Amino acid sequence: MKIIAHVSDLHFGRELPAVAAGLIADLQAVKPSLVAVSGDFTQRARRVEFAAARDYLAQLPHPQLAVPGNHDVPLFDVVRRFLAPLTRYREFIHPDTDPTYCDAEMLVIGLNTARSFTWKNGRLSVEQIRALAGRLREGGNRIKIVVTHHPFLPPPGDDAGIALVGRAAHAVDVLGAGEVDLLLAGHLHHGYAGDIRTHYPSARRAIVALQAGTAISCRHREGELNAYNVITIAGEQLTIEVREWNGIGFLPIRRTVYDRDAHGWHSRTGEDPGMLK
């Protein structure tokens, strides 16, 4: 059995200290096999914010896998933004912006989607997608998870209003061929989940795309509280639990169970109503 804690959008510089402390305590109780952080460690990519994020990560359970977000690229420092966009991220968080975690049971691949020219939106390069195909082939029969900052799947009912990660349609073919099980992302500060086939008609595999809300920052969407996801994978069963801050601690508010067959993962209700607000 594997337990993955999916945390996103810490936004140091806009963090809430009580919530940050509560997340540390909750993760220590959950005891995840891996903590996956899907970007936006800082608010404005300042050194002091990255230092705070580094010190915070040191208090969370290990191992960890992290990818940068668009807020980890300088916005107003134009020279650094275009010439050295992720230098501070590599210095304080991790030198590899496309990291991999692998053990006997699962392969987790991180992909950097943050870009200087499209600061808010993100994209994958052709080279990243090509390399992803090779890494997935080496994964064998392990559970396969891909972590990005920008989403592959729009929120329910908002197909036209959200810019998805660039080259997503190209990547989806590679994800299906590589038998990926789960996509983790953030960016929108809005938690939801769904089958990628609802948005990509060519997709033949039922891959669950899971979004996390903002974990510890004050940058909430309307109607959303601080939250993160706990994913439990045991054989052919996958359970996603959303844990939300209630002012005192993080408590489970929704749980969805999926079963796997030859075509991928399917929720037991036939849809994902338990994950949607």
For residue range 223-239, list pLDDT tens digits in order.
Answer: 789 999 999 999 999 99
Phi, psi angle pair for 262, to nearest 5°: -65, -20
Residue 63 binned pLDDT confidence (cut-offs 50, 70, 90): very high
* Cα 195 to Cα 105: distance, rounded to the nearest angstrom: 23
Bond before 151 cis per omega within 30 degrees: no
Comparing 163 with 145, the larger pLDDT belongs to 145
Q: What is the pLDDT of residues 252-275, one digit of tens each?
A: 999 999 999 999 999 987 655 444
Cα–Cα separations (whole angstroms), residue 3 to 9, 30, 102: 20, 8, 14
DSSP 141: T
- Residues facing residue 260 across a β-bridge: 265
Question: What ranges do the domains of the chain cover?
Answer: 2-275
The percentage of residues in the chain with a pLDDT greater than 70, rounded to a whole number, is: 91
pLDDT computed for residue 203 by the predictor: 93
Q: Parallel, antiparallel, or unpaired: how do β-strands 2-7 and 34-38 relate?
A: parallel
- CA 169 vs CA 3, 85, 100, 124, 202: distances in Å: 29, 26, 22, 11, 9
Superfamily of chain region 2-275: Metallo-dependent phosphatases (3.60.21.10)
Adjacency order of strands within the sheet including 192-195: 100-102, 106-110, 143-147, 182-185, 208-211, 192-195
pLDDT digits (tens, 9 = 90+) for 24-37: 999 999 999 999 99
Q: 177-228, pLDDT tens digit by residue?
A: 999 999 999 999 999 999 999 999 999 899 999 999 999 999 887 778 999 9
pLDDT digits (tens, 9 = 90+) for 149-183: 999 999 987 765 677 999 999 999 999 999 999 99
Is the predicted pLDDT of residue 81 greater than 60, yes or no? no
Q: How confident is the model at residue 248 (pLDDT cuts 50, 70, 90)?
A: very high
Mean pLDDT of 122-141: 95
Residue 46 has pLDDT above 80, yes or no: yes
User: Cα separation of 210 and 241, whole Å?
Assistant: 11
The pLDDT of residue 20 is above 50? yes
Report how far apart, in Å, the C-alpha atoms of 38 and of each of 25, 26, 103, 188, 235 are: 20, 18, 20, 11, 25
